[in-house]
Amino acid sequence: MGPEGAATPRYRSREPASAHDAHRPVWDDEDLARIFTWQEDRQLTRNLTVHYKRLIYLVEPGPQTLRLAGEVCRVQEAADGGIEIFHAGRRLPSRALFDKNPHVLQGAIVANKRLGAVLAKIQADQQERDRGRLGSGSKLTFRQKERIRAAQAETAAPG
């Protein structure tokens, strides 16, 4: 412990080798928000779509953008997750079109009372159909019957 009960620093500071300050001011034409983005080059499809992080982005069709089909553009992702698409330094109007990996929460499905009733009806119909298929007059193989019984056991087991 150092004087007055304070802990001594583990590492000691050093004087710089040169007193020259190498920092420079930001120039007027430098946009730090754009510079500090993740940037990747992607190719526009014939439909003016870009695939990035399992999402499909549509570049809005227009007189300036239709001719860009097949061209390479730059996708920029900001720290907050915002996506912008550029071609030759010009921002292209775009929007997220389709998520290839949608996440639907079970609670969102169950919250819809009508959908819950429909799903319950479908499940009851499926169980009735399976009981009929497992009957003595069925032309199913032993393996097919075992698969049906295994599926029934899975749905009957508490989740």
**What residues does each domain of the chain span?**
34-99, 106-156
Which residues are CB-contacts of 100 (< 8 A; sequence separation ≥ 6)? 54, 55, 56
Top pLDDT among 114 and 72 is at 72
135-158 b/e (C-beta count within 10 Å ≥ 16 → b): eeeeeeeeeeeeebeeeeeeeeee
Query: Quick count: other Cβ atoms within 10 Å of Cβ 113?
Result: 8
Look at residue 59 and tell me whether its pLDDT is greater than 90.
yes
Q: Using alpha carbons only, how large is the chain's radius of gyration in Å?
A: 31
pLDDT digit string, tens, across residues 87-133: 999 999 999 987 766 666 666 655 666 777 787 888 889 888 888 88
